[in-house]
Amino acid sequence: LWQLYRRVSYGAEVQKQQKLKQDIVALKTELRQTTAQDEFAKWAKLKRRLDKNIAAYDAHTSQVAFAKSAFELKATLGLRIGLYGLRTFLVLWYRAAPVFYLPDHWFDPVTGWLAYPLAPVGSVSVPVWMFVCHRVCRQTIQVAQKSVRRVVQVRE
């Protein structure tokens, strides 16, 4: 998302930053080819231009980094609000609807809890089902992350 947003919102800034980077590389190359002892005036002029361009490049880089941080914060906040808002809406809207019915007498001690808050007794309610799905997904992701870390450590 950041790359797309950057191109749309900061296209001119990015192009200016890339041009500054190209100028810096060209000036460094030219500075390396110039000897400080033989052509001091030319070398000093190139060095001042290089320092000026590096300062401008650093300023642009810090502006882009700040914009990226702000964008990531806003995008994360927006996604979280959207996700939790959707989950809350689904729980409130379907709180009395059963997801499925359990076979008789399989889970007698906990059938009331599985139907919480308003689903018929003997069924699993939407809030309970969403809670279970959330827990299973979180555990699966954690196990996958641990497995990937082990594989990466073994390769190193």
Condensed to tens digits (0 to 9), the pLDDT of residues 42-91 reads: 999 999 999 999 999 999 889 888 988 999 999 999 999 999 999 999 99
Q: Report the domain count for the chain.
A: 2
Q: Report the pLDDT averaged over residues 19-43.
A: 91
- pLDDT at res. 104: 86
**Which of 93, 113, 141 is the last residue in one of the domains?**
93
Same domain, 73 and 102: no
Same domain, 64 and 129: no
Q: What is the pTM of this model?
A: 0.61
For residues 68 and 6, is the Cβ–Cβ distance under 8 A? yes
- pLDDT at res. 15: 85
Same domain, 89 and 102: no
Q: How far apart are CA 134 and CA 137, in angstroms?
A: 5
**Which of 93, 110, 127 is the last residue in one of the domains?**
93
Residue range of the domain that includes 26: 1-93
Same domain, 22 and 79: yes
Q: How far apart are CA 57 and CA 65, in angstroms?
A: 12
